[in-house]
Structure 1
């Protein structure tokens, strides 16, 4: 029998499972260290950015040196700046553009506003004011803009001369969220008249709205009553202008009816004529 001599310094081979476990644990440790470094680096960047931002808020280099206000025709620059709550010397980064725009829109004359930083030393505020095209008589006189929005109660300070829309109540408007179907028709009619050369919007004194019979106009100078109805305004205005041209104006005309198919009904102002006994009597109404 042969015996082999056992080696004294031979190392026992470690199982594969143990070696894999150690390798995985080693990788987890490395990943954890990397993650920690990333977190710390991120925090340093955030704190650094905040520090820089706070320093910029104090920097005189970002102070507002010029404020441009454009688009304001009715509102004074001082009114707009007071609403914006911004002034020369304020820091550009510290101001809140959204809040500035919101504050300026509190004025009923402002339809749109856009604020913009003009780096590095300026702020621009662009205003679009409402364009009133009529009064509307509810519980008081209110102004209506070109979009048909009732935007403010009229006052003596407004100093404007516009036709008046009548026949509606506050309840009519509130039921349709400040935009009545009939009020929109009246506004659309005014838009049509702005492009006319014979019967212009300046001739108009009143637009009366009746939910059944539609729109009736009253002229400024003659007080002529003109029934338009509910639709086909452009075509009806063409007929009206033919009447005006044929008579060289509306003088002497009391009533014009355009809500009768394709025809026109005209009623003249009654004239007083002397009778044989010297007593004045009214002449009969004529229709043409």
Structure 2
């Protein structure tokens, strides 16, 4: 056989080469060489993305976006707040209008100089008033203006009790300042004396209104010193025979006691300390009793010669 007449078969091409030739022979159609996806022909790109579990496959409902979720949260919060406000308003209306919380008792503790009814009235608290409508701060401020009240606390005890706890000032002396005033053990001049106030107290004289206005603390210190002297006298033997009536404070710092009843005796003590002078007064008065003499004044104010005592007879 002539080698030139031998029929040569079409050469076998590898798959990649065949695909390439198919692309060249297809006239440039881009989809001819794409691998098959297994999807039916003609399905759009959007349809091919939707799987069986997608929102579109579940009936066309789409998940709410961020704005919708925020709106839902705001509406939910507003609903909760609205319900809470309504419940709070209803509760407040109930407790402030229910007869169950009407004031049925006003309990006053610690008051001796002021009647309980007067303190309750002064505080602006009355039975039948709603217990929650009582302004405790205002009541405390009003009672604080009472000169007898040193401290005050108020409290509610449900359903209908208001408690007023007071600590009163104690009057231990009367201070003569033109008018008569009461003074406490701290030396505080706290009120003008009125009917019903204690009057069976030592009287402190010699203090002027001008001194109180200029130096209130200094006056309080002088009153405390006078009260200390009064305490020493009351605990000594002289108090058993001659009651203390007056303590006179002179401007130069000297002190004079007026003791006794219908025939009082002046004890001029000069400046402190006073205890030795009071002991000396006891001895002088005992000697006067032995002699049957009556003294009008006993001067124990010679600080340079403390052993020297001058007696002015009646």
Q: Write out per-residue CA displacement over residues 219-272 of structure 1, whole angstroms, 9 at most, x where no aligned residue.
A: 13343332344443455545544555666699536214156279344222336x
Matches within 5 A, 1:1-288: 2=20, 5=34, 9=45, 26=66, 34=73, 37-38=76-77, 41-42=80-81, 44-158=83-197, 160-177=199-216, 180=219, 181-194=221-234, 196-200=235-239, 203-221=243-261, 222-234=263-275, 236-241=277-282, 243=284, 252=295, 254-257=297-300, 260=303, 263-270=306-313
* Cα distance in structure 2, aligned partners of 1:39 and 1:68: 45
**Cα 1:119/1:269, change in 2 over 3 Å:** same
Contact 1:64/1:90 (<8 A) preserved: yes
Match of 2:28 in 1: none
**Cα 1:98/1:211, change in 2 over 3 Å:** same
Contact 1:67/1:88 (<8 A) preserved: yes
Q: Write out per-residue CA displacement over residues 42-100 of structure 1, whole angstroms, 9 at most, x where no aligned residue.
A: 45434432331121011111122222223332322332222122222222111112222
* Cα distance in structure 2, aligned partners of 1:53 and 1:179: 53
Gaps in structure 2 of 5+ consecutive residues: 1-16, 24-32, 38-43, 50-64
More displaced 10-residue stretch of structure 1: 121-130 or 51-60: 121-130
Name the larger-Rg structure.
2
* Cα distance in structure 2, aligned partners of 1:32 and 1:175: 71
Tell me the TM-score normalised to structure 2 length. 0.66
* Cα distance in structure 1, aligned partners of 2:212 and 2:98: 52
Contact 1:150/1:179 (<8 A) preserved: no
Secondary structure in structure 2 of the residue aligned to 1:263: coil
